């Protein structure tokens, strides 16, 4: 059975019988975990092991584990800094900041790989323009070149730990004040200005080997009337065509307010996939998840299958091995000092 194009969430700390059945649906390809699914490293490791054991190829297991405000697993994991701290260090000492960025990416990824989570939706490639509260300190820096440099170092660390990277939120969420979780952000800038600034980190990271990208639920009316995640112009013409991206395109959560202008949840899923997404996320709404699995219909894209299997995690150290690893202990000290 191939990996399907839908990523779902779970209700709690263990798989429910109905969730096991749902995750065996051919349209499902992955699971995203949240704080409600985490109690301890031992518990989440057992949960991930069960999810991976349901199917072959195994389902992808992902989490938002950026650091700062967005870190789903806390007790038993190193507290990671909001990446804007790395940007502040970059302004004083770029070489030190790049070392810390690589160390942070490695530490984040190796702790997740130790419980067999495949990947984190990271790093954030948005610009910190001082406008967006939902982005804010989740962004490395205000300057595109600095974001690209720091993100590249962060991704190198992730790759050393055996984890693929996913940049977000294409083509940039930093220039709008509205939060797409609860509103529909609109960015009135011209395409030439967006390409010259916000898209630069994405373009450079694609060149460096970025495996995944998540588009923003933001409308850029001078480019397309649809939010970027539902836009053929943004995903097929610009991201795939102009920028040459060959990795996975993940939709942002289709249950967010910024996605609802595209119709009901089944219409949103169909539109996102037809626009160029390889996998759509349906979170925090079990009824919507069931509607998508019932109403989406047959979907088989061999190219997407190949892209998705490349998101599986590689190296998988045990937590006991990490505890004895001097490099790991050094990384914990270095990152904790700036968290």
Q: Annotated catalytic sites, by residue?
A: 181, 252
Helices (H) and strands (E) in the chain, counts: 13, 10
Strand residue runs (E) in the chain: 6-8, 28-33, 60-63, 65-67, 70-71, 119-120, 166-170, 212-215, 248-253, 279-282
Instruction: For residues 132 and 198, give the distance between their C-alpha atoms in angstroms, rounded to a whole number.
Output: 14
Local structure of 282: helix, strand or coil: strand
- Residue 23 DSSP one-character state: H
The pair of three-digit structure tokens given for residue 102, joined into one six-digit string: 């690589």
The answer to whether the beta carbons of residues 175 and 129 sit under 8 Å apart is yes
3-class secondary structure, 191: helix
Give burial (CB, 10 Å; 0-12/13-18/19+) of 149. Answer: buried
CB atoms closer than 10 angstroms to residue 180? 24
Helix (H) or strand (E) holding 182: none
Give the closest residue to 93 by CA, choosing from 332, 338, 325. Answer: 338
Query: In this structure, what are the phi and psi dihedrals at residue 138, rounded to the nearest 5 degrees?
Result: -80, -10
Contacts of 228 (CB under 8 A, 6+ apart): 169, 170, 171, 215, 216, 217, 218, 219, 220, 234, 235
């Amino acid at each position: 059975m191939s990996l399907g194009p839908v990523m779902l969430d779970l209700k709690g700390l263990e798989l429910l019988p109905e969730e096991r059945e749902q995750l065996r649906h051919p349209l499902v390809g992955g699971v995203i975990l949240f704080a409600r699914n985490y109690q301890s490293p031992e518990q989440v490791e057992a949960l991930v092991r069960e999810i991976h054991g349901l199917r072959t190829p195994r389902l992808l297991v992902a989490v938002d584990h950026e650091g700062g405000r967005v870190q789903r697993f806390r007790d038993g994991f190193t507290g990671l800094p909001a990446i804007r701290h790395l940007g502040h260090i970059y302004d004083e000492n770029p070489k030190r900041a790049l070392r810390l960025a690589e160390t942070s990416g490695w530490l984040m990824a190796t702790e997740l790989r130790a419980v067999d989570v495949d990947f984190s939706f990271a790093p954030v490639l948005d610009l910190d323009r001082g406008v967006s509260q939902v982005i804010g300190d989740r962004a490395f820096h205000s300057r595109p070149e600095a974001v690209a440099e720091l993100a590249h170092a962060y991704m190198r660390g992730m790759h050393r730990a055996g984890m693929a990277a996913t940049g977000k939120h294409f083509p940039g969420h930093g220039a709008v004040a509205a939060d797409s979780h609860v509103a529909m952000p609109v960015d009135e800038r011209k395409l030439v200005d967006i390409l010259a600034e916000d898209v630069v980190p994405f373009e450079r990271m694609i060149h460096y080997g970025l495996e995944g990208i998540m588009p923003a639920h933001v409308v850029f009316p001078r480019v397309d009337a649809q939010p970027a995640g539902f836009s053929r112009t943004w995903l097929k013409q610009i991201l795939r065509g102009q920028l040459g991206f060959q990795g996975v395109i993940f939709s942002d959560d289709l249950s967010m307010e910024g996605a609802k202008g595209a119709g009901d949840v089944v219409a949103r899923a169909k539109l996102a996939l037809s626009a160029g997404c390889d996998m759509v996320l349906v979170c925090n709404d079990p009824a919507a998840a069931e509607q998508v699995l019932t109403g989406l219909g047959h979907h088989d894209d061999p190219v997407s299958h190949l892209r998705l299997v490349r998101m599986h995690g590689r190296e998988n150290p045990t937590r006991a091995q990490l505890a004895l690893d001097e490099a790991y202990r050094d990384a914990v000290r270095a990152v904790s000092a700036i968290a």
